[in-house]
Amino acid sequence: MKIPLSPLSDTEHDIEIFACFCLDKVPAAGNKMGEISGGQKRIREGQKEVREKFEETREETVKLEEETNLISQQSAANQLRLDLMFQI
């Protein structure tokens, strides 16, 4: 006659072992999710920084275009003055 070591049947015992195994893995899964969440936050922060730098670059480009146009206009005006001076 077999004397059970546990009041649980073999199937119940297997389920209990499996449940303990799974519960041991839950904190590890939670830690991994936390790591992933932290990684996603760092990615979002990096994307925000890139967007800000893009905006700064875009603004600087507009300023440089305006300066370039002004210099071009001044150059054209100076050329007209020189033409007038040499005609006299």
DSSP assignment string, 13-79: HHHHHHHHHHHHHHHHHHHHHHHHHHHHHHHHHHHHHHHHHHHHHHHHHHHHHHHHHHHHHHHHHHH
- pLDDT-derived band at 16 (thresholds 50, 70, 90) equals low
- pLDDT-derived band at 69 (thresholds 50, 70, 90) equals very high
In a domain, 25, yes or no: no
In a domain, 51, yes or no: yes
In a domain, 84, yes or no: yes
- Domain range enclosing 70: 30-88
In a domain, 87, yes or no: yes
In a domain, 65, yes or no: yes
pTM: 0.50
